[in-house]
Amino acid sequence: MYCTRKVNDDYTWVGADGRRLAMFEGVFDVPNGISFNSYLLRDEKTVLFDTSDAAVRRTFRENLLHALEGRSLDYVVVHHMEPDHTAELEELVLRFPEVQIYCSAMAKTMMTQFFGPGFQERIHVVKEGDTLCTGRHTLRFIAAPMVHWPEVLMTYDETDRLLLTADAFGCFGALNGRLFADEVDFDRDYLDEARRYYTNIVGKYGSQVQAVLKKAAELDIAMLLPLHGFVWRKELGYLLHKYDLWSRYEPEERGVLIAYASVYGNTENAANILACRLSERGVRVQMFDTSVTPTSYILSAAFRYSHLVFAATTYNAGVFITMEELLHDIAAHDLQNRRVVLLENGSWAPASGKGMQKILQPLKGWQQMEDTFTIRSALREDQTMQLERLAATLAADVQAAAPAEEKPEGQHRYVCKVCGYVYEGDSLPEDYKCPLCGAGAEYFKQES
Ligand code: FEO
């Protein structure tokens, strides 16, 4: 039995959906499953790009054998050594004794660490710019270190203009038979999970993602083929633009995330009042109880919004456990450039405000608005007015135009209508092409 899908004439998706994982990578819940993508190129040579996770090995094997149609496997390209993509390497070597493996130098080292020295003679180390001809197709290797492991490679198929992107451009969620992003309402149904995937797994490595985006901008790309989630064959600029924002730590929206940690509901009450006052002023608010919502969702929302409110009760002379975990996770991901409001609660010695400041202080471009708002046990009647004033200040800041950069006289902004990329200059050259999505000058709109 098999459940493959054709990517194009020569490429076939031979991956598998996993829907029974309690936790992906032992830490991220995936209530809607996750796909482990693997692609087979059938040319004069057969090439498999990555294998699968142990959890879905049976489906992967059936799909691969079906797509090979009795041919042997000549090459395996290992883009990434994490075991959710390499669990079947040993099996492949046993099943196809002649198979040759292409990977980066660091992947070769890791392969020995994971599997012992048995693979050495079949490994071919490749580096940035090396090519492999498989018949009709020429594959060019692109180094993508720290997106999100150091050994990561991508492959650009020069013949079909496909970019196999390793973990980049991935998404949580099983494919459920839909291989291409244009087969679903991605923006409505999957963007949140793509953001949660990016921010938690790759989010710390913004500068490395920027480096890869620059390399991608030099390529003529027809499709993006990630190791999780959908293949992109239309409107690539949509996702490239999101990656550009996320990796520059730019918020997607001016709005407020309110995350609170409350033991008996009094801190929650203050957070609720603040949310009401902000909403009355037309500010978009998203709230999370840190004791209920897993950290990965809140971290993702912190990348999304421009302003963050953290409200926490004091616990063991510090920050309540679930809030402390969230803030450490945000700090570990190096989120930058956010405006923050802190609320603390404590019945005899409020200390969570200072504790939260200490965790967030090293982060680049963070600014605390107003002094920490202190509650003693429960909000006093007279404090509702203070909370009202805090909401007014916060709302005004959210609704103020994003801080404009100094622009020299005569400079104009031209915005790409496809992906949102901004070109600044005295005029847009007629032959200009968007470095993110490749759209021509006719797709740019002058904004100022
Ligand atoms: Fe999907 Fe980093 O492995």
pLDDT tens for residues 236-261? 999 999 999 999 999 999 999 999 99
Torsional sign, CA 33, 167, 250, 429: negative
Rounded distance from Cα 431 to ligand 1 centre (Å)? 39
Helix (H, G, I), strand (E, B) or coil at 181: helix
Residues composing the chain = 448
Residue 161 CA to residue 159 CA, distance in Å, equals 6
Question: Using 50, 70 and 90 to split pLDDT, how confident is the model at 425?
Answer: confident
312 with 205, same domain: the answer is no
| 378 inside domain | yes
Ligand 1 closest atom vs CA 148? 2
Average pLDDT over residues 215-221: 96
Ligand 1 closest atom vs CA 201? 2
Question: Using 50, 70 and 90 to split pLDDT, how confident is the model at 423?
Answer: confident
| 142 inside domain | yes
Rounded distance from Cα 249 to ligand 1 centre (Å)? 22
Q: φ and ψ at 356, to 5 degrees?
A: -65, -40
Q: What is the pLDDT of residues 354-364, one digit of tens each?
A: 999 999 999 99
Question: Using 50, 70 and 90 to split pLDDT, how confident is the model at 405?
Answer: very low
Residue where one domain finishes, among candidates 194, 212, 247: 247
Average pLDDT over residues 84-99: 97
Residue where one domain finishes, among candidates 192, 219, 247: 247
Q: What is the pLDDT of residues 274-285, one digit of tens each?
A: 999 999 999 999
Question: Using 50, 70 and 90 to split pLDDT, how confident is the model at 421?
Answer: low
Rounded distance from Cα 166 to ligand 1 centre (Å)? 8
| 416 inside domain | yes
pLDDT exceeding 90 applies to what percent of the chain?
A: 89
- Given a cut of 90, whether residue 152 has pLDDT beyond it is yes
- pLDDT of 435 reads 65
Ligand 1 closest atom vs CA 227? 1
326 with 286, same domain: the answer is yes
DSSP code for 71? P
Rounded distance from Cα 202 to ligand 1 centre (Å)? 10
- Given a cut of 60, whether residue 407 has pLDDT beyond it is no
- pLDDT of 351 reads 98
| 74 inside domain | yes
55 with 142, same domain: the answer is yes
Ligand 1 closest atom vs CA 149? 2
Average pLDDT over residues 416-424: 64
177 with 236, same domain: the answer is yes
Average pLDDT over residues 99-120: 96
Residue where one domain finishes, among candidates 220, 247, 274: 247
Question: Using 50, 70 and 90 to split pLDDT, how confident is the model at 437?
Answer: low
177 with 80, same domain: the answer is yes
CATH number of the domain at 302, please: 3.40.50.360
351 with 426, same domain: the answer is no
Higher pLDDT, 436 or 262: 262
- Given a cut of 70, whether residue 136 has pLDDT beyond it is yes
- Given a cut of 70, whether residue 37 has pLDDT beyond it is yes
Rounded distance from Cα 429 to ligand 1 centre (Å)? 40
| 407 inside domain | no
Rounded distance from Cα 417 to ligand 1 centre (Å)? 32
| 405 inside domain | no
The answer to whether the pTM exceeds 0.85 is yes
Range of the domain at 276: 253-400
Q: Which of 114-118, 211-215, 426-430, 442-446 has the lowest mean pLDDT?
A: 442-446
| 32 inside domain | yes
DSSP 272-339: HHHHHHHHHTT--EEEEETTTS-HHHHHHHHHHEEEEEEEEEEETTEE-HHHHHHHHHHHHTT--S-E
263 with 158, same domain: the answer is no
Q: What is the pLDDT of residues 301-338, one digit of tens each?
A: 999 999 999 999 999 999 999 999 999 999 999 999 99
- pLDDT of 438 reads 67
DSSP 133-176: E-SS-EEEEEE-TTSSSTT-EEEEETTTTEEE-TTTT--SB--T
217 with 164, same domain: the answer is yes
- pLDDT of 140 reads 98
- pLDDT of 124 reads 98
Residue labelled with tokens 């797994």: 201
Ligand 1 closest atom vs CA 36? 1
Q: Give residues with Cβ within 8 angstroms of 41, minimum separation 6.
A: 10, 11, 47, 48, 49, 134, 137, 157
Ligand 1 closest atom vs CA 170? 1
pLDDT exceeding 70 applies to what percent of the chain?
A: 95
For residue 352, what are the CA distances in angstroms to 123, 156, 264, 291? 53, 50, 16, 16
Rounded distance from Cα 82 to ligand 1 centre (Å)? 5
Ligand 1 closest atom vs CA 166? 1
Rounded distance from Cα 85 to ligand 1 centre (Å)? 7
- Given a cut of 80, whether residue 7 has pLDDT beyond it is yes
Mean pLDDT of all residues in the chain?
A: 95
CATH number of the domain at 425, please: 2.20.28.10
For residue 52, what are the CA distances in angstroms to 3, 37, 146, 344, 356? 15, 7, 20, 46, 40
339 with 277, same domain: the answer is yes
For residue 42, what are the CA distances in angstroms to 75, 134, 227, 230, 426? 11, 9, 19, 21, 49
CATH number of the domain at 46, please: 3.60.15.10
User: Which residue has its alpha carbon closest to ligand 1 atom 3?
Assistant: 82
Question: Using 50, 70 and 90 to split pLDDT, how confident is the model at 417?
Answer: low
Q: What is the pLDDT of residues 67-90, one digit of tens each?
A: 999 999 999 999 999 999 999 999
| 406 inside domain | no
215 with 288, same domain: the answer is no
286 with 375, same domain: the answer is yes
Pocket residues: Cβ below 6 A from ligand 1: 80, 82, 84-85, 148, 167, 227-228
- Given a cut of 60, whether residue 44 has pLDDT beyond it is yes
What's the CA angle centered on 289, arms 288 and 290, to 5 degrees? 105
Q: What is the number of structural domains in the chain?
A: 3
- Given a cut of 80, whether residue 348 has pLDDT beyond it is yes
- pLDDT of 280 reads 98
98 with 232, same domain: the answer is yes
- pLDDT of 354 reads 98
Rounded distance from Cα 299 to ligand 1 centre (Å)? 19
